[in-house]
Amino acid sequence: MLNIDLSGKRALVAGVADDAGYGFAIAKALAEAGASVVVGTWPPALNIFRNLLERGKMEESLVLSSGAKLAFESIHPLDAEYTTLASAPESVRENKRYAGVGDFSIDGLATKLVEDHGNTPLDIVVHSLANGPEVKKALLDTSREGYLTALSVSAYSLIAMVSRFGPLMRAGGSVLSLTYMASERVIPGYGGGMSSAKAALESDTRVLAYEAGRRFGVRVNTISAGPLASRAASAIGIIEKMVGYVAANSPLTEPLTATEVGHVAAFLASPLASGITGSVVYVDKGYHAMGMASPD
């Protein structure tokens, strides 16, 4: 039997704050395959996430197929908009939502992982991060600041993470991000520069696959996932409409589940996918193949 076996490997999943999104589903799938999982969580959501875990609000979601319970090896503050703590403006560093969390930058997390687990603590890095403060605005109405923030948080953060975490990864490592069809097709209502950010993310995936492959010996891929009505996606404002439209017009009409994306992520992180890098892998029930709406 051909199994996905990630025993003895450690994964960093950046962008988990509850049990409703793709980040959590990927973390759970990696754990199902035997990996230990550390999590990076946006500081304003960190205490909420920890409280959900401590108060048992996620008990059902944490149960693995074996009956055991997913236990994160550690949970760290991470705001991937900032490569170093010094690059975060004083207004952010002194914000009460960031108070007491320590160094929440990419560099800070890398330093902590080395302190806790040695010089090469990682085998898998998952970038499940995106933010467009003006996502509800049409592109024509998006400010320069809103556009650049979307690009910085949703795309450049992958470059910063590969640059900083790449040297910390063991041979055969895998980096994975999440993209969306808006990178190549118009999705009215998905604005604020987020479509541009996803296009940049996919282009960067190809370049990083070459550069990080040659420099660090790691693979870099991205999953183009269909829409999911997660808590984070509710910020878009039309997520339910997006989910319904895709389900009605895809070759496979069952709604996409986060678990399905998690399983593909586990495969891409495993030795079974050792020949795959620089790829955009569609996990959207085939919606990307459609050129017209279904007559049904």
Catalytic residues: 180, 190
What is the full DSSP assignment across 110-163? HHHHHHHH-S--EEEEEE-----TTTTS-GGG--HHHHHHHHIIIIIHHHHHHH
Helix (H), strand (E) at residue 208:
helix 194-216
Annotate 234-253 with b (16+ C-beta within 10 A) or e (fewer): eebebbeebbeebbebbeee
Residues 6+ apart with CB under 8 A from 203: none
Per the document, the length of the chain is 296
12 contacts 124 by C-beta, under 8 angstroms: yes
CB atoms within 10 A of CB 180: 27
132 contacts 107 by C-beta, under 8 angstroms: no
288 contacts 282 by C-beta, under 8 angstroms: yes
**Taking Cα atoms as reference points, which of 185, 178, 180 lies closest to residue 227?**
180
Distance between CA 252 and CA 284 in Å, rounded? Answer: 9
